[in-house]
Amino acid sequence: MERAMTTDVPVTLRRTLGVRSSAALIVGNIIGMGVFLTPAEVARAADSGQSYLLHWIVGALVAGAGALVAAELGMRFPHAGGDYVFLDRAYGRPVAVAWGWMSFLLSFAACIAAMAVGLGETLASITALSGLKAELVVIAGVHITGVDVVGTVAVMLATLLNLGSVRLVGRVQLLVAGGLLLGFSFLGLFTIAGASAQLGSALSATSVVANAPTNAFGSAIAAVFFTYTGWNVLTYVGGDVRDPQRTIPRAVMLSVALVALLYLLLNIAFLLALPLPILRETPNAGVALARKVLGPTGGDGFAVLVALAILSGLNSSIMAGSRVALALSGDGHLWRPAARIHPRLGTPVVALLAQAAWVIALVLTGSFGSLVTLSGSVMILLSALTVSTIFIFRRRDPTIAALPGHPVAPALYLAFAAFALVMVAMSEWPWLLAGAGLFALLTVRQARIQAAPKAVEPTH
């Protein structure tokens, strides 16, 4: 008989995250630079302001569908580990372990490293801090800049914050996420208030897309799809959530609704300040909007807000990634000490420190880029695999934690995930193939380990 999962065991994780802190964790994980970098991609596929906004509305519906599924899965299995737990219960330990290894060592670590460096680069874009781009030292052929140092310090500080107290992390996340919502909402409302008379013409104005690629629509949908991702972060820290049956669904749906409204507000502001032909050629719509509306200092002020957004995502990702390590280690598939919970702090200290060491190595060596590319594309496939587990759990027991929207919500999400996957495969098929191949190898390896006969201790 297979050994029972120990992801249920870490009851010493203190369930201190309430609805507001949990929602803040999700909001901080979703909002980043994506909403400012993807408008150009979306604008290239839109021939009017209305069709431009339609992309974002569709993205909100897909995110809402995925969030409904994530909420139900989190209610069914409110433990540390998220997808690892769901995949193990639905498809077996080999699939779950393969996902866990790829998530902890590749996608989570690489994404955290990328955010840390992005934080440094964002701060370096501020006029007074431009010196951060300068090279400081060369160690073993590795060129280290001030940006790398800022990224390293950010990882260390966020890890220390997570070491101390989950309650403190929740409060900090609530403060930062609240600041982001207020700051970005102010930018959007200020723009709309100053040009409200032009709103109708901005939405109805048409603009022919010259020399648009054949897959422009698909690329736009894929870009919006990625910009909304992150709503499932709460399932990774399910063991830290207070009253999960009540908190998880409320926090997930509240956060997705807030982000969807914010994205809609910002994109209306983009259309008012940057007509479609200009928006198509604007690499960072947020910077362009801030400079146009707030003047020359707008760019620096906006950079501070973006830095906060990245820091918020960094904090929540560090927390979530360590819980994946906790679940893997608890089942004996990663370094055993990483499964320990500090008796006084109630946090996975070893898992957090091990993750920080690996992430800092990626930051300083600059090797996270290839890991993001390798694991990022296949994670779309794996997220769809996770969403599909809801059909299995509903068939096994349709009465437990049943939320509305089934089966339309998961079917909608899976359809758009498949579409996004096809779009990614059109340009990144070597990386997609490599990532899928690695996942298959890890799954087969774990299946063989599991099937191998166990040594029998001699009796005396």
Per residue in 293-347, pLDDT (tens digit) is: 888 788 888 888 888 888 988 999 999 999 999 999 989 998 889 989 988 888 9
The confidence score (pLDDT) of residue 335 equals 85
More confident residue, 378 or 248: 248
Matching residue, tokens 């089934």: 406
- Indicate the pLDDT class of residue 388, thresholds 50, 70 and 90: very high
The confidence score (pLDDT) of residue 244 equals 92
Please check the confidence at residue 191 and state whether its pLDDT lies above 60.
Answer: yes
Arithmetic mean of pLDDT over the chain: 87
Domains and CATH numbers, the chain: 19-449 (1.20.1740.10)
* pTM summary value: 0.86
Closest listed residue to residue 169, CA positions, set 302, 13, 324: 13
More confident residue, 164 or 251: 251
- Indicate the pLDDT class of residue 164, thresholds 50, 70 and 90: confident
Please check the confidence at residue 367 and state whether its pLDDT lies above 80.
Answer: yes
- Indicate the pLDDT class of residue 358, thresholds 50, 70 and 90: very high
What CA–CA distances, in Å, run from 62 to 68, 82, 83, 234, 407? 10, 20, 19, 18, 13
- Report yes or no: 237 and 56 within 8 Å, Cβ to Cβ: no
Q: What is the pLDDT of residues 424-441, one digit of tens each?
A: 788 778 888 888 999 999
Please check the confidence at residue 143 and state whether its pLDDT lies above 50.
Answer: yes
- Indicate the pLDDT class of residue 9, thresholds 50, 70 and 90: very low
The fraction of the chain above a pLDDT of 90, given in percent, is: 48
More confident residue, 418 or 206: 418
- Report yes or no: 109 and 355 within 8 Å, Cβ to Cβ: yes
- Indicate the pLDDT class of residue 214, thresholds 50, 70 and 90: low
Please check the confidence at residue 8 and state whether its pLDDT lies above 80.
Answer: no
The whole-angstrom separation of Cα 330 and Cα 10 is 8
The confidence score (pLDDT) of residue 441 equals 96
**Structure token digits, residue 44:** 């290239």
Region 152-168 average pLDDT: 92
Please check the confidence at residue 7 and state whether its pLDDT lies above 50.
Answer: no
Q: What is the pLDDT of residues 235-260, one digit of tens each?
A: 999 889 999 999 999 999 999 999 99
The confidence score (pLDDT) of residue 2 equals 35
Q: What is the pLDDT of residues 76-130, one digit of tens each?
A: 999 888 999 999 999 999 999 999 999 998 889 988 998 899 899 889 888 889 8
- Indicate the pLDDT class of residue 455, thresholds 50, 70 and 90: low
Q: What is the pLDDT of residues 257-278, one digit of tens each?
A: 999 999 999 999 999 988 888 9
